[in-house]
C-alpha cells in the first residue's frame, strides 16, 4: 500500500501510531507500507520515532526492513 504524504504539513504522534498500526496489519497480510513524498519535517519525524525501521515499512529511498 502506498501512502502519499506530499500534502501533509503537520503530523504528531497520533499519525505515527496510526501508520504503525496500518503497517502491522499489512505485514500480517504479507504486504508492505510505502511512505511516499514526505516533506522534510515529516520525514524527520518518521525517522526520529523509527517508523521507517518497522517491518513492512518503506520510506522513499530506504531499504525495506521486511521484504515481501
Cell of 44: 524527520
Length of the chain: 68
Tens digit of each residue's pLDDT, the chain (68 residues): 999 999 999 999 999 999 999 999 999 999 999 999 999 999 999 999 999 999 999 998 654 444 44
Outline where the chain has alpha helix (H).
Answer: 13-28, 40-49
List of residues 6+ apart from 14 with CB closer than 8 A: none
Give residue 60's pLDDT: 87
Query: What's the rounded Cα separation, in Å, for the pair 28 and 8?
Result: 27
Beta-carbon neighbour count of residue 11 at 10 Å? 18
Q: At residue 3, what are phi and psi to the nearest 5 degrees? A: -115, 115
Give residue 58's pLDDT: 95
Amino acid at each position: 500500500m502506498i501512502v502519499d504524504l506530499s500534502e501533509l504539513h503537520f503530523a504528531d504522534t497520533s499519525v505515527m501510531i496510526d501508520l504503525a498500526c496500518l503497517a502491522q496489519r499489512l505485514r500480517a497480510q504479507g504486504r508492505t507500507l510505502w511512505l511516499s513524498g514526505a516533506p522534510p519535517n515529516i520525514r524527520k519525524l518518521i525517522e526520529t520515532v523509527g517508523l521507517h525501521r518497522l517491518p513492512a515499512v518503506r520510506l522513499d529511498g530506504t531499504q525495506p526492513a521486511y521484504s515481501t
